[in-house]
């Protein structure tokens, strides 16, 4: 269940987390969101306290309250049952004491978290208790479209891992003897990932041995391939080898009390808090002044201001203004950094402080829950204060907006955005692609915001099914839902949050093949598209559809504690496909096969081995058994005779074993594979390249990333060696339809096997991927003869085993009983041992082999809250100044909101670097949002060409549709093609019936002045 979370936190942090006891006071929106996220994370115990009787507007932010609770149930008691269901491993309970009367009982908790504005005297007392008990105090409040978080982790808190990034290592290439020793890395495996202030350790350095196995030392960045360390002038001369690795060094941090921090959010000379929006310089300090004023109001009135009551705030706003002006005059450090007085900013904090809305509580609830986790020492806690405001989301709401409450669940939202926006929300049609972690959070937000609650409809599609590993972050799912469709369950459950929420689920991929489901009328009926998918290919395709149909798209994604969002607005912003994702780092095949230097290389080799032995090879066997002649015909098309021979030999051996139904033969294969891979292959490598081998230029072969290996002789008492043979033989037997025997039998059998004598061969070993293959060239007659010989050796003449006998292994990382990860783990660590690479635990093998993306509920909640804000903004305006994309890293408190990039206009160029000539945009400055609509009825290619010449003065050269070329000017049949009907030719070329009344054409043309014309897509309406 916790595998994705462990990928983000690590086992050490999880070990601390499961012992943590948390107290949460306040169960409106922010409290419920915080409780949900921390319960999913899995502490030992979460105690809730909120005796307030549920009101109708609580239902707009606490998703576990119902209309039946209004006026009857305490918030904490009404929320308890569903919060407990989130994670059966966590003890969730209601406090059996009143902390305001018996504050000493808070000492038993690791973290005390208050999520609503309270009396400053009480807050100071709670803070004092937690400081005394060496616990943490977290205080936060969601105040309309703004909010704040305060943390106090005590006088002596130790941050053990500031950023949560995995420690990286490099191969050392050289180290200078100088006052600041410069370390050069082998950059063939990637550029330097260390930065200033990182700590590193060295090992296996030859010559300059003073560096080896010493305490961590700080470094300074020099270049993408070098960094500097201390004075090395008195060290030995560097000769060769070595590894340098990042090390996490614990760092102490001291926190000030709540009382001191409220008065002075940061001290003179201290670190100034980072901005979250660079269009708001000086905003943090003004927001803190608003927080101080809000607490002054609460202390004096024992309540928060009534929403939109301007009269009651007048004296408080005037006092705040005077205080700021005086502070600037007296050069109070934090006040001097504030922007000038802006009454609207402070007034909006105060006047909406009672209002809790889902976008804000979702965003902040992720942050607050993450701060609770940080008490484990993982990640960097907020340095006392963090403030947020999203006032740009209300900047286009008119002053005379109808904000009259309706005594309903949306009243808090109406108080801020008005009934006009609420009506628009209720009629929205939204198409959401994906119902996983992001999708669950979006559905929660849309339901409580009132989206699609009147005439609108939210359509959700996801072809995936629920897995156990989903349960700790996809909060709408329970153990009984495993194996059920995600979209179906999510839509069913979220309707319990708001019975008026109208939603329909599909289990259909959004692909060209399914355009009959998601057709033109469907797309044209959507108001927004929300991307909640986890792969680039799907994002790109959906982005293309949104630009074609002119629909707003909001995209988001997470990776551990990091998240991003991008708002894409028709004819205003750039789109997803305008952004270039960095290419993934690849590992050269020769490195994987012969010269690994990192555990990741070994694990990737193990994953490839699993696929080759138990998936691809068995698929080949299954195909051969179904139709031998057809398989051989297709095999010959692969061209490489060595591959063909190897595949047929493997099939022959597999058939012999399958026909025998003898499990012992499976053990023999596994044992021989062990000897070959970990023993003989290494001996052969050392035979070709002995440890002291030098090349023709006198350069050492075994240097840099090439590590001298050593063979491993099979030892039945070595757990890894035995695990490899046992899992290999078991998986092979399962693949061939043979019943495997238990591991005790395998151990007994292998104890009697003899290791054959190693005899070195004369073979060439590839050192670089560019080296030629050492294949023996055969004539076509010899190839045919060799293949025929192998085919004849396959037993039984006509194949006598049914294809259904064979079971290709479909890699499944989450089933610990299937031996898949165990096989890869044993192989990976044995290979690491061969090459003196530090071995890893099974969890790391699982994370890398399974390509498990670290994922946690906190990050998902935060980013989806920001996306929901963009929906509210786009209902008012599409001006780019008011839109915001986001990048978050909750580990290091990085929250950056930025305007999206503007639409990209196609420009004329005198010299295009790709086409090597002039290009011209036709029509001028068109964007991806534009298309040429050609709706003059059915046309021939000649009529199309004449149209473009007459209207745009360009000569058509190529016409293509759906990646099929329909017209090509350099073709011999060009003149003949000109007379053909466009849609008929497309139907003939694609052998299909056209389901729509138009085709999307890509037209390439030349201008009359010789420039290449750059044209947008053409919508050719033929009927």
Q: What are the residues facing 47 on neighbouring strands?
A: 23, 93
Q: Which pLDDT score is estimated for 603?
A: 94
**Pick the residue with more confidence: 805 or 139?**
139
DSSP letter string, 830-866: HHHHHTTPPP--HHHHHHHHTTPPPB-HHHHHHHHHH
User: Torsions phi, psi of 530, nearest 5?
Assistant: -115, 120
User: Which pLDDT band holds residue 11 (cuts at 50, 70, 90)?
Assistant: confident
Mean pLDDT of 418-439: 97
Q: Is the pLDDT of residue 447 over 60?
A: yes
Q: Lowest-pLDDT range, 20-29, 173-182, 260-269, 402-411?
A: 260-269
Q: Which pLDDT score is estimated for 587?
A: 59
The model's pLDDT over 524-568, given as tens digits with 9 standing for 90+, comes to 999 999 999 988 889 999 999 999 999 999 999 999 999 999 999
Mean pLDDT of 617-644: 82
Q: Determine contact, residues 460/911, Cβ cutoff 8 Å.
A: no
Note the helical H segments in 585-662.
Answer: 589-594, 599-610, 617-626, 628-636, 641-660
| β-pair type (894-898, 964-968) | unpaired
The model's pLDDT over 138-178, given as tens digits with 9 standing for 90+, comes to 999 999 999 999 999 999 999 999 999 989 989 999 999 99
CA distance 368 to 798: 68
Q: Which pLDDT score is estimated for 418?
A: 98
Q: Which pLDDT score is estimated for 36?
A: 98
Reduced to 3 states (helix: H, G, I; strand: E, B; else coil), residue 531 is strand
CA distance 15 to 25: 25
Q: Is the pLDDT of residue 369 over 90?
A: yes
User: Which pLDDT band holds residue 584 (cuts at 50, 70, 90)?
Assistant: low
Q: Which pLDDT score is estimated for 819?
A: 95
Q: Is the pLDDT of residue 801 over 60?
A: yes
Q: Is the pLDDT of residue 269 over 90?
A: no
Note the helical H segments in 246-313.
Answer: 258-263, 283-301
CA distance 569 to 553: 7
DSSP letter string, 767-802: SSTTSPP-PPP--HHHHHHHHHHHHHHSTTSS--S-
Mean pLDDT, the chain, whole residue set: 92
Helix axis angle for 857-874 and 29-41, nearest 10°, is 150
The two three-digit tokens of residue 488, written as one number: 């179906």
Q: Determine contact, residues 934/960, Cβ cutoff 8 Å.
A: no
Q: Lowest-pLDDT range, 202-216, 474-488, 578-592, 779-793?
A: 578-592
Mean pLDDT of 291-302: 98
Mean pLDDT of 626-638: 81
Q: Is the pLDDT of residue 213 over 70?
A: yes
The dihedral of CA 512, 551, 277, 556: what is its sign? Answer: negative
- Going by C-beta distance under 8 Å and a sequence separation of 6 or more, which residues neighbour residue 658? 736, 737, 738, 801, 805, 806
User: Which pLDDT band holds residue 796 (cuts at 50, 70, 90)?
Assistant: low
Q: Is the pLDDT of residue 915 over 70?
A: yes
The model's pLDDT over 640-682, given as tens digits with 9 standing for 90+, comes to 677 788 888 888 899 989 999 999 999 999 999 999 999 999 9
Active site residue 167: no
Q: Is the pLDDT of residue 767 over 80?
A: no
Q: Is the pLDDT of residue 115 over 60?
A: yes
CA distance 538 to 548: 15
User: Which pLDDT band holds residue 704 (cuts at 50, 70, 90)?
Assistant: confident
The two three-digit tokens of residue 519, written as one number: 């057709």
Model confidence, pTM: 0.87
The two three-digit tokens of residue 556, written as one number: 């988001």
- Cα 336 to chain center, whole Å? 40
Q: Which pLDDT score is estimated for 588?
A: 61
Q: Is the pLDDT of residue 797 over 60?
A: no
Q: Determine contact, residues 869/884, Cβ cutoff 8 Å.
A: yes
Q: Lowest-pLDDT range, 625-629, 783-787, 913-917?
A: 783-787
The two three-digit tokens of residue 507, written as one number: 């289990």
Instruction: State yes or no: cis peptide before 316, omega within 30 of 0.
Output: no
Q: Is the pLDDT of residue 891 over 70?
A: yes
Q: Determine contact, residues 291/118, Cβ cutoff 8 Å.
A: no
Q: Which pLDDT score is estimated for 781?
A: 67
Reduced to 3 states (helix: H, G, I; strand: E, B; else coil), residue 389 is strand
Q: Is the pLDDT of residue 771 over 80?
A: no
Q: Which pLDDT score is estimated for 732?
A: 96
CA distance 795 to 804: 18
Q: Is the pLDDT of residue 596 over 80?
A: yes
Q: What are the residues facing 158 on neighbouring strands?
A: 252
Q: Is the pLDDT of residue 586 over 70?
A: no
Of all helices (H) and strands (E), which one includes residue 664? Answer: helix 663-674
Mean pLDDT of 190-214: 92
Q: Is the pLDDT of residue 777 over 90?
A: no
The model's pLDDT over 962-998, given as tens digits with 9 standing for 90+, comes to 989 999 999 989 999 999 999 999 999 999 999 899 9
First vs last Cα of the chain: how many Å apart?
54
Q: Which pLDDT score is estimated for 55?
A: 97
The dihedral of CA 534, 36, 284, 879: what is its sign? Answer: positive
Q: Determine contact, residues 1010/918, Cβ cutoff 8 Å.
A: yes
Q: Which pLDDT score is estimated for 853?
A: 79
CA distance 828 to 592: 11
Mean pLDDT of 314-319: 97
CA distance 213 to 217: 11
Q: Pick from 472, 556, 567, 463: which is nearest to 2 by CA?
A: 472
Please identify which of the residues 355, 440, 575, 590 carries the catalytic annotation: 590
**Which residue do the tokens 């309406």 mark?**
1021
User: Which pLDDT band holds residue 766 (cuts at 50, 70, 90)?
Assistant: low
DSSP letter string, 693-749: -B-TTS-BSS-TT----------TTSHHHHHHHHHHHHHHHHHTT-----HHHHHHH
Q: Which pLDDT score is estimated for 752?
A: 94
User: Which pLDDT band holds residue 772 (cuts at 50, 70, 90)?
Assistant: low
User: Which percentage of the chain shows pLDDT scores above 90?
Assistant: 79
**Which residue do the tokens 């502070």 mark?**
327
**Which residue do the tokens 């109808």 mark?**
402
**Pick the residue with more confidence: 583 or 843?**
843
User: Which pLDDT band holds residue 189 (cuts at 50, 70, 90)?
Assistant: confident
Q: Is the pLDDT of residue 695 over 90?
A: no
Reduced to 3 states (helix: H, G, I; strand: E, B; else coil), residue 32 is helix
The dihedral of CA 845, 851, 856, 859: what is its sign? Answer: positive
User: Which pLDDT band holds residue 718 (cuts at 50, 70, 90)?
Assistant: very high
């Amino acid at each position: 269940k916790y595998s994705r979370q462990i990928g983000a936190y690590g086992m050490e942090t999880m070990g601390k987390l499961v012992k943590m006891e948390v107290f949460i006071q306040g169960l409106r929106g922010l409290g419920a969101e915080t409780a949900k996220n921390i319960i999913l994370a899995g502490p030992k115990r979460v105690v809730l306290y909120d005796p307030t009787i549920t009101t109708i507007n609580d239902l707009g932010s606490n998703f576990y309250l119902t209309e039946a609770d209004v006026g009857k149930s305490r918030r904490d008691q009404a929320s308890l049952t569903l919060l407990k269901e989130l994670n059966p491993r966590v003890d969730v309970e209601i406090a059996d004491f009143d902390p305001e009367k018996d504050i000493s009982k808070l000492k038993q908790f690791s973290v005390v978290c208050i999520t609503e504005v309270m009396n400053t005297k009480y807050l100071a007392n709670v803070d004092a208790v937690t400081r005394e008990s060496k616990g943490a105090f977290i205080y936060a409040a969601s105040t309309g479209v703004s909010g704040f978080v305060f943390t106090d982790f005590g006088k002596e808190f130790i941050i053990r891992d500031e950023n949560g990034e995995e420690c990286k290592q490099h191969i050392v290439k050289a180290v200078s003897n100088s006052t600041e020793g410069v370390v050069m890395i082998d950059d063939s495996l990637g550029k330097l990932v260390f930065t200033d202030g990182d700590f590193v350790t060295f090992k296996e350095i030859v010559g300059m041995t003073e560096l080896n196995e010493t305490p961590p030392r700080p470094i300074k960045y020099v270049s993408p391939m070098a960094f500097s360390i201390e004075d090395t002038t008195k060290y030995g001369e560097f000769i060769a080898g070595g590894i340098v690795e990042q090390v996490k060094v614990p760092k102490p941090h001291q926190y000030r009390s709540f009382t001191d921090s409220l008065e002075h959010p940061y001290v003179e000379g201290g670190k100034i808090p980072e901005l979250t929006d660079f269009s708001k310089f000086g905003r943090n300090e003004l927001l803190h002044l608003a927080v101080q004023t809000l607490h002054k109001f609460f202390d004096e009135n024992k309540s928060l201001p009534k929403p939109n009551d301007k009269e009651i705030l007048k004296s408080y706003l005037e006092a705040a203004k005077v205080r700021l002006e005086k502070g600037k005059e007296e050069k109070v450090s934090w006040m001097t950094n504030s922007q000038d007085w802006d009454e609207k900013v402070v007034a909006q904090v105060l006047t909406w402080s009672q209002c809790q809305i889902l976008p804000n509580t979702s965003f902040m609830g992720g942050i607050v829950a993450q701060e609770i986790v940080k008490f484990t020492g993982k990640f960097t806690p907020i340095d006392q204060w963090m403030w947020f405001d999203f006032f740009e989301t209300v900047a286009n709401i008119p002053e005379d907006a109808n904000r009259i409450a309706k005594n309903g669940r949306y009243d808090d939202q109406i108080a801020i955005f008005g009934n006009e926006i609420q009506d628009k929300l209720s009629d929205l049609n939204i198409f959401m692609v994906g119902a996983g972690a992001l999708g669950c959070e979006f559905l929660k937000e849309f339901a409580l915001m009132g989206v699609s609650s009147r005439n609108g409809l939210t359509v959700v599609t996801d072809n995936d099914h629920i897995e156990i590993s989903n349960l700790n972050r996809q909060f709408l799912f329970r153990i009984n839902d495993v194996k059920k469709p995600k979209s179906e369950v999510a839509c069913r459950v979220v309707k319990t949050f708001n019975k008026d929420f109208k939603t329909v689920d599909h289990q259909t991929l959004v692909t060209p093949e399914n355009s009959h489901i998601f057709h033109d009328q469907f797309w044209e009926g959507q108001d927004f598209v929300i991307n909640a998918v986890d792969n680039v290919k799907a994002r790109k395709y959906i982005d293309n559809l949104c630009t074609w149909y002119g629909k707003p798209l909001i995209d988001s994604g997470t990776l551990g504690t990091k998240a991003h969002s991008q708002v894409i607005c028709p004819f205003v912003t750039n789109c997803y496909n305008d952004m270039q994702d960095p290419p993934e780092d690849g590992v050269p095949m020769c490195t994987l096969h012969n010269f690994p230097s990192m555990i990741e290389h070994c694990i990737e080799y193990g994953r490839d081995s699993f696929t080759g032995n138990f998936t691809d090879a068995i698929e080949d066997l299954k195909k051969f058994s179904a139709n031998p002649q057809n398989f051989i015909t297709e095999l010959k098309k692969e061209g490489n005779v060595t591959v063909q021979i190897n595949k047929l030999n493997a099939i022959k051996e597999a058939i012999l074993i399958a026909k025998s139904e003898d499990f012992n033969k499976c053990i023999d294969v596994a044992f021989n594979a062990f000897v070959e891979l970990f023993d003989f292959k290494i001996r052969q490598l050392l035979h070709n390249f002995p440890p002291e081998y030098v090349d023709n230029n006198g350069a050492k072969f075994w240097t840099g990333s090439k590590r001298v290996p050593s063979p491993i002789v099979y030892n039945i008492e070595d757990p890894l060696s035995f695990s490899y043979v046992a899992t290999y033989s078991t998986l092979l037997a399962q693949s061939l339809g043979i019943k495997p025997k238990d591991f005790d039998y395998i151990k007994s059998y292998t104890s009697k096997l003899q290791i054959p004598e190693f005899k070195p061969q004369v073979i060439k070993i590839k050192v670089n991927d560019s080296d030629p293959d050492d294949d023996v060239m055969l004539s076509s007659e010899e190839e045919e003869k060799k293949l025929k010989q192998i085919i004849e050796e396959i037993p039984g003449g006509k194949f006598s085993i049914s294809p259904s006998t064979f079971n290709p292994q479909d890699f499944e990382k989450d089933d610990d009983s299937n031996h898949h990860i165990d096989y890869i783990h044993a192989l990976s660590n044995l290979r690491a041992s061969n090459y003196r690479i530090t071995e890893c635990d099974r969890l790391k093998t699982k994370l890398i082999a399974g390509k498990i993306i670290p994922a946690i509920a906190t990050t998902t909640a935060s980013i989806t809250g920001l996306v929901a804000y963009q929906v509210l903004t786009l209902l008012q305006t599409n001006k780019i100044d008011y839109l915001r994309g986001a990048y978050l890293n909750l580990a290091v408190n990085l929250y950056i909101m930025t305007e999206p990039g503007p639409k990209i206009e196609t420009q004329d160029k005198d010299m295009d670097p790709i086409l090597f000539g002039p290009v011209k945009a036709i029509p001028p400055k068109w964007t991806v949002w534009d298309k040429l609509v050609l709706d003059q009825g059915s046309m021939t290619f000649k009529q199309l060409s004449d149209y473009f010449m007459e209207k745009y003065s360009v000569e058509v050269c190529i016409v293509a549709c759906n990646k099929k070329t329909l017209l090509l000017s350099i073709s011999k049949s060009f003149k003949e093609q000109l007379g053909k009907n466009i849609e008929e030719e497309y139907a003939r070329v694609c052998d299909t019936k056209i389901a729509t009344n138009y085709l999307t054409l890509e037209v390439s043309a030349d201008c009359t002045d010789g420039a290449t014309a750059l044209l947008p897509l053409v919508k050719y309406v033929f009927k």
